[in-house]
């Protein structure tokens, strides 16, 4: 151990840490892999993901060599589960929201300066589209004179109002975040019933399985029940971020005087600033940490590469993909309501949801280990199946029955596959059942609006003008207040 001199003092030098000498070529390879991400195959099989010099398509050496394998091949994809956006995390439709983003430490986390008028608070009842009700404690403040508080009045809807027109704000964001979590947990089951139609035998049974698995504690690396519970919480939260809230109760803080050309006359919107805060609580404080938990858990069980996890991975991917599908339906309705010439006016969100779907689908298909579990010939009682998925008798019975439901819809899937209407029912989830799945090429810019698919309807018109009917899908817009009926969620 040596000594070194600092100023006039001599101090003991830290022992030098010897690093193994690494070949410059190896160092470059590691750095390249870090920059590009290792591919899914190499990550799951814990292999070194080295580039294949002979391949012009960025396929890695392992994937190139595996191309000769007897198993069905998937492309070399460098997706990472934690990079999945999953839900709407920003508002793109007004200058105020652009200047005061919902996520982040400065605005989203309630750091907008406020001077309270007094300590007196009131309770505002906020009812969501799906029937979930929140009682929010609010407090009056002195409105700031910010120029940007007035939005572009040529726009319709909530964005056309001065942001501070009703100067009441959430009294305590931490309390409201906890309150939101409690309410969501209480109503998950009722919310699923309220928003999805039990008649759709492709969608409904999977949600029922997800709800059934929630309270079951498994002895695995990660409790699958925790993953299911958080996935269902995220599903509810994503719906809360997608759709508007309205005031109910006797004291609406004067919001009943606000006009909204896009809503029915008896719809009282939330005061604009409270609406901004509530959406921020949902997206920033509730959904963001939940998203991280769900994706970390999903990544852990995917990487564990165990047959005992396949069922939970399937259910989780289905629910998350269906959630993307439901969000895009709202984006499409948003454009249609405003008679936009573009099919989607929130293209950032459409791209984010398409990316999410590709990441989930790629990992799910890798977890099928070269099998085609939804093909007609797949035998759910064979030893091959057990290497892919270890199911209990109840789960086996479910899958055997479910596969026949999938087959009954082959024509619909085929029609949907050929469209670029992401809002068409099953556009995302049907890719779980595809043999030789590859990520679809999706639009970067919105195509023009056309009438080929009528948003929210039960049919799609194919390229050749053929009409394909879907089964019952989303329920019509229901505004039923769930607090008025017996609580099934516990
Ligand atoms: Zn690789
Ligand atoms: Zn690869």
What digits encode the pLDDT tens for the residues 365-379?
Answer: 999 988 889 988 888
Looking at the CA of 43, name the nearest ligand.
Answer: 1
Residues of the chain with pLDDT under 70: 1-22, 26-36, 56, 68-72, 90-113, 145-161, 216-222, 450-490
Residue 224 Cα, ligand 1 centroid: separation in angstroms?
28
Looking at the CA of 76, name the nearest ligand.
Answer: 2
Of the candidates 319, 234, 247, 318, the residue with the CA atom closest to the CA atom of residue 283:
234
pLDDT for res 219: 46
Residue 47 Cα, ligand 1 centroid: separation in angstroms?
7
Going 341 to 347 to 349 to 355, the CA torsion angle's sign is: positive
Find the helix packing angle between 288-304 and 310-337, rounded to 10°.
140
Going 398 to 373 to 79 to 322, the CA torsion angle's sign is: negative
Residue 294 Cα, ligand 1 centroid: separation in angstroms?
25
Residue 355 Cα, ligand 1 centroid: separation in angstroms?
20
pLDDT for res 32: 65
Residue 31 Cα, ligand 2 centroid: separation in angstroms?
16
Residue 89 Cα, ligand 2 centroid: separation in angstroms?
31
Residue 317 Cα, ligand 2 centroid: separation in angstroms?
22
Looking at the CA of 49, name the nearest ligand.
Answer: 1
Residue 55 Cα, ligand 1 centroid: separation in angstroms?
13
Residue 251 Cα, ligand 1 centroid: separation in angstroms?
60
Residue 308 Cα, ligand 2 centroid: separation in angstroms?
25
Residue 474 Cα, ligand 1 centroid: separation in angstroms?
40
pLDDT for res 112: 66
Is the CB of residue 234 less than 8 Å from the CB of residue 291? yes
Residue 354 Cα, ligand 2 centroid: separation in angstroms?
21
pLDDT for res 369: 87
Q: How many CB atoms lie within 10 A of CB 384?
A: 13
What span, in angstroms and rounded, lies between the C-alpha atoms of 456 and 439? 25
Residue 77 Cα, ligand 1 centroid: separation in angstroms?
8
Residue 359 Cα, ligand 1 centroid: separation in angstroms?
16
- pTM recorded for the entire structure: 0.83
Burial class of residue 234 (count of CB atoms within 10 Å of its CB; 0-12, 13-18, 19+): buried
Nearby residues for ligand 1 (ion, Cβ within 5 Å): 39, 42, 49, 60, 62
What span, in angstroms and rounded, lies between the C-alpha atoms of 437 and 364? 10
Looking at the CA of 59, name the nearest ligand.
Answer: 2
Residue 47 Cα, ligand 2 centroid: separation in angstroms?
10
Q: Residue 310: how many CA atoms within 13 Å on its side-chain side?
A: 22
**Which string of DSSP letters, residue by residue, matches 97-115?**
HHHS-SSSTTTTTT-S--E
Residue 59 Cα, ligand 2 centroid: separation in angstroms?
5
Find the helix packing angle between 224-242 and 204-213, rounded to 10°.
130
Strand (E) or helix (H) holding 393: helix 393-408
Looking at the CA of 74, name the nearest ligand.
Answer: 2
pLDDT for res 482: 43
Of the candidates 471, 476, 392, the residue with the CA atom closest to the CA atom of residue 212:
392
Of the candidates 184, 319, 156, 163, the residue with the CA atom closest to the CA atom of residue 240:
184
Residue 227 Cα, ligand 2 centroid: separation in angstroms?
28
Residue 102 Cα, ligand 2 centroid: separation in angstroms?
37
pLDDT for res 157: 42
Q: What's phi and psi for 81, nearest 5 deg?
A: -60, -45
Q: How many CB atoms lie within 10 A of CB 156?
A: 16
């Amino acid at each position: 151990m040596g000594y070194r001199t600092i100023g006039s003092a001599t101090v003991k030098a830290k022992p030098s840490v010897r690093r193994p000498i690494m070949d410059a070529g190896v160092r470059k390879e590691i750095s390249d892999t870090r920059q590009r991400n290792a591919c899914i195959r190499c990550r799951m099989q814990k292999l070194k993901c080295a580039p294949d010099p002979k391949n012009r398509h960025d396929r890695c050496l392992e994937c190139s060599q595996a191309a000769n394998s007897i198993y069905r091949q998937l492309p070399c994809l460098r997706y990472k589960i934690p990079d999945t956006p999953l839900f709407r995390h920003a508002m793109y439709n007004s200058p105020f929201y652009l200047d005061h983003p919902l996520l982040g430490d400065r605005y989203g986390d309630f750091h907008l300066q406020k001077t309270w008028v007094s300590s007196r608070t009131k309770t505002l009842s906020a009812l969501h589209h799906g029937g979930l009700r929140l009682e929010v404690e609010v407090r009056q403040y002195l409105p700031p004179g910010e120029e940007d508080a007035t939005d572009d009045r040529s726009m319709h809807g909530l964005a056309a109002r001065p942001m501070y027109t009703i100067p009441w704000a959430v009294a305590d964001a931490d309390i409201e975040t906890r309150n939101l979590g409690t309410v969501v947990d209480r109503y998950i089951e009722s919310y699923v019933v309220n928003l999805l139609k039990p008649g759709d035998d492709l969608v409904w049974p999977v949600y029922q399985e997800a709800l059934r698995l929630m309270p079951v504690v498994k002895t695995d690396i990660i409790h699958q029940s925790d993953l299911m519970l958080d996935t269902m919480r995220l599903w509810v939260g994503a719906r809360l971020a997608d759709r508007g809230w309205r005031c109910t109760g006797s004291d609406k803080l004067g919001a009943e005087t606000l006009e909204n050309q896009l809503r029915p006359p008896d719809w009282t919107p939330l005061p604009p600033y409270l609406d901004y805060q509530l959406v921020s609580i949902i997206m920033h404080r509730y959904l963001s940490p939940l998203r991280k938990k769900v994706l970390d858990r999903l990544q852990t069980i995917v990487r564990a590469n165990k047959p005992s996890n396949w069922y939970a991975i399937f259910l989780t991917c289905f629910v998350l993909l269906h959630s993307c599908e439901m969000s895009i339906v709202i984006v499409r309705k948003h454009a249609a309501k405003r008679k936009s010439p573009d099919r989607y006016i929130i293209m950032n969100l459409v791209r984010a949801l398409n990316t999410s779907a590709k990441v989930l689908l790629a990992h799910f298909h890798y977890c099928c280990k070269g099998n085609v579990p939804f093909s007609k010939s797949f035998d759910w009682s064979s030893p091959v199946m057990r290497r892919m998925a270890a199911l209990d008798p109840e789960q086996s019975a479910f899958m055997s029955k479910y596969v026949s439901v999938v087959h009954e819809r082959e024509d619909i899937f085929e029609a949907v596959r050929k469209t670029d209407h992401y809002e068409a029912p099953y556009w995302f989830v049907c890719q779980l059942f595809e043999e030789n799945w590859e990520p679809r090429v999706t639009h970067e810019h919105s195509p023009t609006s056309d009438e080929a698919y009528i948003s929210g309807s039960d049919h799609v018109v194919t390229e050749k003008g053929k009409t394909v009917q879907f089964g019952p899908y989303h329920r019509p817009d229901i505004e039923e207040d769930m607090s008025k009926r017996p609580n099934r969620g516990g």
